[in-house]
């Protein structure tokens, strides 16, 4: 059963505890609200202001698990807080598993401060959970995929378009790297895991994957420098830094260019193009 008073109180408490800078929003000189405004939280949670407001007023329908997951992420809840939210709303919390979609508040806070830098948060299977605006400008919206196609490794072997953003000379290594990484995950997570299911799908659908899989190559790591072939600005040479959240098997990938380099100048151009597309 849904605990409407408890749910409303919890949402108000978490909203008022968050500051604009905690979620990448400007404070503004005339702000008097304690914490975030309801309309700001509704936007962060991808829902209408009316829907969110009714929850805080102990009204409205019982939120679905999908809606609760969105609220938990928008309010930057920890996993324990997320589970509490689900129980207040009358649902069992999602299985935490090896790589849940819920991003830790700390990793989100870092990403929220990277508006001018290409960055993304990915799972161990290469599923993009969140991107900075510049991340979308660099590689497109990678969060739009569903099913197995959420994995960049799966798309690499099943969708030719997935390879176009990378320089051709990178393709052979990336092919081996994706297979090596998935094989290591299958061994780590075991039969019946999501990694094992993804490997089975690729073994049944890609001759190239089967051929490289049979090499049993293990231990390949991504190169520190990546070469992109962007449709608007052309060739880009970017350094990739990786911040790992071991508790949830998520990684924050940040792409930067050497100051003064041609790629650095192209990223400045890309920031303008990206802003124009978003507006």
Find out whether 9 and 15 touch, Cβ atoms under 8 Å.
no
Where on the phi/psi map is residue 16: left (φ > 0), alpha (ψ -120 to 50), or beta?
Answer: alpha
CB-CB contact of 249 with 102 (8 Å) = no
Task: Give CA–CA dist 266/237, Å, rounded.
Answer: 10
Nearest CA among 271, 201, 191, 183 for reference residue 233: 271
Q: 105-278: what fold?
A: Beta-Lactamase (3.30.450)
Note the pLDDT tens digit of each residue in 70-91: 999 999 998 889 999 999 999 9
Q: Count of CB atoms within 10 A of residue 32's CB?
A: 4
- pLDDT, average across residues 118-141: 95
For the cut 50, the answer to whether the pLDDT of residue 236 exceeds it is yes
Q: Where are the domains of the chain?
A: 4-88, 105-278
Q: What is the Cα–Cα distance from 226 to 167, expressed in whole angstroms?
A: 9
Reference 75, options 62, 92, 56; nearest CA is 56
Under 8 Å between Cβ of 128 and 179: no
Chain centroid to CA 135? 11
Residue 279's pLDDT is: 39
- Residue 192 dihedral angles phi and psi, to the nearest 5°: 85, -5
Cα separation, 41 vs 236, whole angstroms: 36
> Would you say 198 and 145 are in contact if contact means Cβ atoms under 8 Å apart?
no
With CA atoms as reference, report the closest residue to 240 among 134, 127, 120, 157. Answer: 120
- On the question of pLDDT at 135 being above 60, the answer is yes
Q: Is the pLDDT of residue 169 over 90?
A: yes
Mean pLDDT of the region 268-273 = 89
pLDDT of 118 strictly over 80:
yes
Residue 19: per-residue pLDDT: 86
What's this model's pTM, rounded to 2 decimal places?
0.81
pLDDT band at 184 (very low <50, low <70, confident <90, very high): very high
Q: Does the pLDDT value for residue 275 go beyond 90?
A: no
Out of 3.50.30.30, 1.20.5.510, 3.30.465.10, 1.10.260.40, which CATH number does the structure's domain 4-88 have? 1.10.260.40
Averaged over 94-105, what is the pLDDT?
77
């Amino acid at each position: 059963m849904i605990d409407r008073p408890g749910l409303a109180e919890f949402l108000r408490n978490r909203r008022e505890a968050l500051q604009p800078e905690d979620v990448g929003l400007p404070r503004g000189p005339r702000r008097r609200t304690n914490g975030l405004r309801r309309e700001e939280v509704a936007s962060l949670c991808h829902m209408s202001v009316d829907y969110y407001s009714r929850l805080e007023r102990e009204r409205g329908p019982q939120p679905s698990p999908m809606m609760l997951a969105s609220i938990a992420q928008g309010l930057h809840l920890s996993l324990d807080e997320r589970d509490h939210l689900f129980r207040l709303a009358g649902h069992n919390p999602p299985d935490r598993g090896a790589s849940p979609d819920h991003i830790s508040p700390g990793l989100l806070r870092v990403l929220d401060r990277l508006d001018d830098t290409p960055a993304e948060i990915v799972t161990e299977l290469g599923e993009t959970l969140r991107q900075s605006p510049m991340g979308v400008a660099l590689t497109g919206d990678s969060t739009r995929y569903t099913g197995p196609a959420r994995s960049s490794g799966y798309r690499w072997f099943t969708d030719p378009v997935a390879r176009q953003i990378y320089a051709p000379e990178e393709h052979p290594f990336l092919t081996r790297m994706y297979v090596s990484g998935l094989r290591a995950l299958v061994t780590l997570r075991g039969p019946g895991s999501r990694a094992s299911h993804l490997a089975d799908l690729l073994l049944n659908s890609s001759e190239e994957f089967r051929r490289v899989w049979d090499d049993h190559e293990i231990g390949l790591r991504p190169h520190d420098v990546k070469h992109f072939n962007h449709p608007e600005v052309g060739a880009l040479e970017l350094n990739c830094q990786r911040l790992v959240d071991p508790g949830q098997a998520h990684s924050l990938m940040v792409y930067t260019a050497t100051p003064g380099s041609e790629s650095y100048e192209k990223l400045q151009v890309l920031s303008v193009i990206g802003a124009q597309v978003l507006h």
